[in-house]
Chains A and B, each alone.
Chain A
């Protein structure tokens, strides 16, 4: 907290069809911060992330990157803004017809303008950073869930983005793999200074990683708390307290 705001979500209202998922969501994320979007299942955490990375257009409001409105920008400018962030999807979303090295080198070739050989070199480095040296020629179907997540992370950070988004990084992982991934996220932040936005409901990850957080309420359809996760345990909202302490409502 206290760092200069890199991302600002301003009065965002989101929905699908006739259904409003969340309304009037507003917060800022400081540079180099690990920011957690949390809430109960179905509250719209991933939907919020999809709006922040440009996959869904909001009903109203906007997401500002260094003061520049993403949805107010023209299509070409939006494509440029996308280069500023990488996304690790819930199940990694690796392209099954490509090897891990090809997966990681795809954005380097298509968006980074690198030649195929150079891209493969960089891909090898990125895979080594996430502990997957030697697995360059493996296909996603040949590796475990935890390794897929790490390969997805290598692809997300292929273009050295300023911001990394993680959608439920612990989903489907055993506690040890989940812990290793959390450590990796912390190391990345320490070594690269990357801003990290984390969508999760894993309490261990929330307390271990989160510098700042926002809580989305599925019933009230808006954010009901904002602050450091350890401090939110004493939040006046009983649902947020219950969520963070695994207590009963």
Chain B
């Protein structure tokens, strides 16, 4: 006779000819942890193999789900090995619960497990990627048609939605855009000054800040902020509308969701982004000036003079041109993932995350493309 113990839950094993008997003793409680079925499984494997597994419960003081879970697991192992299982000696309630746990209705049978090999996983990822690419292409096509309808004045949308989107992606974003860009300007000035000071060229901090902010960082940082703010908001709102069947309701009313929901949002963001970036540029320059004048002891007039000399109109225009593209990218990403959201609360969260990650990624890729094109065109 051997014994297996786990905290206060206890059992012992007894082998008589071809029957293995599990004797259950004492109090079984979930709070004391689950009993390990290991010793029973070892005994099931022992040679000569038992042909019958029985349970005895004379010494059982009390029980809860921990006992049922243990017996269920052990009995399943025994049945898998072709043993006959006798649970008739268990308390009546435990026996009924075990019966319920085994009675799986046919329609509730779990789906067969997916093949988890590396090849299958790679295949699934590839198929999902190609499906997403197809969906995205169809979405962009649908959006293009919707924009053409808008330009011809035929798009069906509510003007108030466009105004709301203009506010959400414009005025409402001023605070965070201002803060981020002021700090980026300040950090750029500070980091640049440390390097330039080694050559006695601290005044060129003004050039660095002016060109860096207007041509590159103002638009880039605003694009990233807008992706996390407005792109996420669009994905969450449209995702929730999808879950609530509001998007289906639009379709059955004969309204195109892309025309009705996406066009106003993409248009509003693309229109507001240049204004936001112009504001971001100003705040970035101010951040740089603040560090230069307060921290680096450069004269205010001297700094402003240097900034004015460095600031060519083309740098500002390139930044603003980028901003229109970034706005369209951020809003399209948010709306795409919102409209293609699954039908659960978790799906809305996933859609929002994907919208933000894809939005930021595409903004940075677009920025790289702009940089290369500007370099080739010597702008």
Q: Which residues of A contact B (CB under 8 A)?
A: 40, 42, 50, 53-55, 79, 82-83, 85-87, 89-91, 93-97, 106-107, 110-111, 155, 218-219
A42 partner residues in chain B, CB cutoff 8 A: 107
| Mask: chain B, 78-117; 1 = CB below 8 Å from A; 0 = not | 0000000000000000000000000000110000000000
Whether B249 and A110, one on each chain, are in contact in the complex, defined by CB atoms closer than 8 angstroms, is: no
17 A-B pairs (CB sep. < 8 Å): A40-B107, A54-B251, A55-B251, A55-B252, A82-B254, A83-B254, A87-B249, A89-B245, A90-B245, A91-B244, A93-B244, A93-B245, A93-B249, A95-B246, A106-B253, A106-B255, A111-B254
Beyond A89-B249, A93-B245, is A111–B255 a contact (Cβ under 8 Å)? yes
**Known contacts A89-B248, A91-B245; is A107 also within 8 Å of B107 by CB?**
no
Q: How far is the CB of A33 from chain B (nearest CB, A)?
A: 20
By a CB distance below 8 angstroms, the chain B residues around A93 are 244-246, 248-249
Chain B residues packing against A (C-beta within 8 Å): 106-107, 156, 158, 161, 164, 241, 244-246, 248-249, 251-255
List, in ascending order, chain A residues with CB within 8 A of B161's CB.
Answer: 97
Q: How far apart sit A94 and B248, CA to CA, in the bound complex (Å)?
A: 11
Q: When chains A and B are docked, how far (Å) is the Cα of A106 from the Cα of B156?
A: 10
Contact B107 A85 (CB under 8 A): no
Return A16 CB to nearest CB of chain B, in Å.
11
Q: How far is the CA of A218 from the CA of B108 in the complex (A)?
A: 10
Question: In whole angstroms, how far apart are the Cα atoms of A110 and B246 in the complex?
Answer: 16
Report how far A218 CA is from B245 CA in the complex, Å: 23
Give the chain A neighbours of B246 by CB distance below 8 A.
93-96
A111 to B250 CA separation, bound complex (whole angstroms): 11
Residues of B within 8 A of A97 (CB): 161, 164
Distance of A76 from chain B, by nearest CB (Å): 10
> How far does the alpha carbon of A85 sit from the alpha carbon of B255 in the complex, in Å?
14
Whole-angstrom distance between the Cβ of A49 and the nearest chain B Cβ = 10
Residues of B within 8 A of A96 (CB): 244, 246
Q: Report the 5 A-B pairs with minimum CB-CB distance, sorted nearest first.
A: A93-B245, A93-B249, A89-B245, A82-B254, A87-B252
Closest to B106 in A: A219
Q: How far is the CA of A107 from the CA of B241 in the complex (A)?
A: 17
Q: Across the interface, which residues of B come within 8 angstroms of A106, CB to CB? A: 158, 253, 255
A99 smallest CB distance to B (angstroms): 12
**9 further contact pairs, Cβ within 8 A, besides A79-B254, A107-B253, A110-B254:** A40-B107, A53-B252, A82-B252, A89-B248, A91-B244, A94-B246, A95-B241, A96-B244, A107-B255
Residue contact B245 to A110, C-beta cutoff 8 Å: no
| B253 and A218 form a contact (CB under 8 A) | no
Q: Which residue of A lies closest to B164 (CB)?
A: A97
B166 to chain A, nearest CB (A): 15
Contacts of B244 in A (CB 8 A): 91, 93, 96
* In the complex, residue of chain A having the shortest beta-carbon distance to the beta carbon of B244: A93
Q: How far is the CA of A90 from the CA of B245 in the complex (A)?
A: 8
User: Shortest beta-carbon distance, A7 to chain B, in Å?
Assistant: 15
Answer whether A55 and B253 are a contact pair too, CB < 8 Å, given A42-B107, A110-B156, A218-B107.
Answer: no
- CA A54 – CA B256 in complex, angstroms? 13
Residues of chain A lying within 8 A (CB to CB) of residue B252: 53-55, 82, 85-87
Name the one of B106, B241, B255 contacting A110, with C-beta atoms under 8 angstroms: B255
